[in-house]
Amino acid sequence: MKIAFIGLGNMGAPMARNLAAAGHAVTGFDTAAVAVEGVTMAGSAADAVRAADVAITMLPSGAILRAVADEIVPAMRRGAVHLDCSTVDVASARAVAETAQAAGLSALDAPVSGGVGGAEAGTLTFMVGGDEAGFKTALELFEIMGKKAVHCGPSGNGQAAKICNNMILGATMIVTCEAFALADKLGLDRQAMFDVVSTSSGSSWSMNSYCPAPGIGPTSPADNDYRPGFSADLMLKDLRLAMQAAEEADADTPLGTAAAALYARFVEEEDGAGRDFSAMLPRFERRGRG
């Protein structure tokens, strides 16, 4: 396929590189001066997409996505696919999809899970909203860039799946860190704690696969001084998107709201900025009930 890739940052660059390595003709654009192996750079986003069968965007916010869509949609040929892999608010995803569909394009919102490591290894998971025909066209590309793509329904549902998943993840990581800090103060050995919880009803991905306690369980960012695999800053972004969606949908999310407030305090008032989201554990270790 002829592919355009707009947004060649930490995630976009390895995704585009993997597509080029698989034999697709990839034309890229980024506002920063970047070079990606196998990718031909264009002078503008509109120039990048003119001949594309699929135009992929990986952008930092809904506002930027809307602005880029306004530029690229008129330049794309009818029948092409706009595949947005950004994590943005549901309303922006649906508005951009409506613009694309009105221009005769297929539109997919397909945020990802797996981080920079998954982008580099081609093991991302895609949560996809949009029409079935567009999903079938993009499936070959999902299989190159990732290990799994789930079609979640109409436009916006990919973003909905992402923020619901990460609301669960944010809340479970907090309570996992709280539990380790409590176990410490009760004199319970961390390894014993892990051995019980990871095989009992308290097990979760946060405990079993991404344990926040150094030296316990599989290797995780806790074993690398909490250098981010998934940063607390990004968790805060996703939780705020979840809270925005909850407000718009009139959904009661007390634990999600509490998690968003804790990560806001951790990132903006404490030492969480630039650290992994599991660095909540040393935060709770230092704190009492006061």
Choose, from 148, 162, 185, 237, the residue flagged as catalytic.
Answer: 162
Q: Are 11 and 62 in contact (CB under 8 A)?
A: no
Give the pair of three-digit tokens for residue 83: 């595949």
Residues 130, 97: contact at Cβ < 8 Å? yes
The percent helix, strand, coil of the chain (3-state, each to 5) is 50, 15, 35
Candidates 39, 11, 36; CA nearest to 25 is 39
CB 110 within 8 A of CB 129: yes
Q: Is 147 a catalytic residue?
A: no
Q: How far apart are CA 102 and CA 96, in angstroms?
A: 10
- Distance of alpha carbon 62 from the chain centroid: 13
Region of 288 please: left (phi>0), alpha (psi -120 to 50) or beta. Answer: beta
CB 57 within 8 A of CB 46: no
Catalytic residues, by residue number, are 162
